Homo-oligomer: A and B are copies of this chain.
């Protein structure tokens, strides 16, 4: 399908009238396509079919000698911690704990303990502070921002560059403002731009002086092994660099297998310094008797070892990479010659970040919605859903099949071009 068929010009050269003609043509046969969230596709879910039969009649006996079917083992089975510790968190197994199914919930839980009791490094509970601020690289993940709102944390947007967040700005801010207690980081294949924090960025985050003694990095390693190319990017090890800089307790690392096995049915992990993890488990023991060890064993039997994890991720990649390629092809074709539009070409993760001329994003999203293409809400990539330039849209190509994705991308191009054309007319 080509929604621009019949024109002998590039889409970017079409007049507003021609774009509107295209648009009304689509409106007559509206779509029903949802690209709002980064969902794995049904084909990806099928990769975990055998996971659904596990653990079966397993004779597994954990080294820690507690029956995996019974209560106990707050930190999680050592065998499962060993399976993921290095690959997903870059930490030794004794510095991580296994949670339930959601890394987001572990972040929320950690913030909860920080507010009610303070971190190990805090002079007092964050809840007793007049003001707590977090640095928020933008474009970023809307659920991180929503959590800040929930905890009444003031968000300071920091531009996310190709090398990671703007470190000059960050160093300046944290050096002088003791109310800046933390920072969200998606260090690899960041949501939504796909940016990877370079070595220098990670090193500077680890060593920078901060006015707050209890400044902490919420290191959301959501896409640790979610590569799209042969170049399997590795971040510099934040834990080691923090330790070397004598900021041993500056980080909490989060990861999960939600986008490795099945969303919702995976395992979430938290890792940190020994001191921080002990602090965290001490609070957690008031909250739960222990995590779901049956699901832990399920993971162990499904993956066997870290090689099993990376092999499985190659299967995801073989399903995902063609989608990112297809999206890239459609955007390149559609925006050929349109200098005001740019987008990212991520080497991993789940998203592409699209930048439009100022003031065009929300109209483009609205236009798309009116013809049945639901995109992520404009502004969602910014704190409180407010993109001051109204220029950024997150694209989530993973769920759709290739054919549908192609249609969606063309309609997206159309809506963006029309949005720009309408804005030029109204100026």
One of A89-97, A146-154, A356-364 at the interface: A146-154
| Number of interface residues, chain A, beta carbon within 8 A | 52
Nearest B residue (CB) for A68 = B264
B37, B52, B55, B115: the one contacting A294 at CB < 8 Å is: B52
Residues of B within 8 A of A102 (CB): 287-290
The answer to whether B67 and A58 touch across the interface, beta carbons within 8 angstroms, is no
Residues of B within 8 A of A56 (CB): 52-53
Instruction: Please give, as numbers and ranges, the residues of chain B lying within 8 Å of A49 by CB-CB distance.
Output: 57
Q: Among A56, A101, A293, find the residue whose CB has the most chain B CB atoms closer than 10 A.
A: A101
Most chain B CB within a 10 A radius of its CB, from A40, A49, A69, A151: A69
Q: Which of A81-116 contact B (CB under 8 A)?
A: 100-102, 104-105, 108, 112, 115-116
A37, A52, A70, A100 — most chain B CB neighbours (10 Å): A70
Give Cα distance in the complex from A115 to B55, angstroms: 39
Known A58-B52, A146-B286: A264·B100 in contact at CB below 8 Å: no
In the complex formed, the residue of B with least CB distance to A103 is: B288
Q: CB-CB < 8 A to A42: which residues of B?
A: 67
- Taking the nearest CB of chain B, how far is it from the CB of A299, in angstroms? 12
Give the distance to chain B from A260, nearest Cβ to Cβ, in Å. Answer: 13
A69's partner among B55, B105, B263 (CB-CB below 8 A) is: B263
Say yes or no: is A265 at the interface (Cβ < 8 Å to chain B). Answer: yes
Q: List which A348-392 residues lie within 8 A (CB) of chain B.
A: none
Cα A55 to Cα B286 in complex, Å, equals 31
Hey, which chain B residues are within 8 Å of A48, CB to CB?
69
Q: Closest CB-CB distance, A59 to chain B, in whole Å?
A: 12
| Residue A283 CB within 8 A of the other chain | yes
Please pick, from B45, B67, B258, B285, the residue contacting A45 in the complex, using a CB distance under 8 A: B67
Q: A266-298 interface mask toward B, CB cutoff 8 Å, 1 = contact, 0 = none?
A: 000000000000000001011111111111000
- Of B37, B151, B286, which one neighbours A150 at CB under 8 angstroms? B286
Query: Can you list 14 A-B contacts with CB-CB less than 8 angstroms, sorted by A residue number?
Result: A45-B67, A52-B54, A52-B57, A52-B294, A70-B263, A100-B105, A101-B291, A104-B287, A127-B127, A146-B285, A150-B287, A264-B289, A264-B293, A265-B295
Chain A residues with CB under 8 Å of chain B are 37, 39-40, 42, 45, 48-49, 52-58, 67, 69-72, 100-102, 104-105, 108, 112, 115-116, 127, 143, 146-147, 149-151, 258, 262-265, 283, 285-295
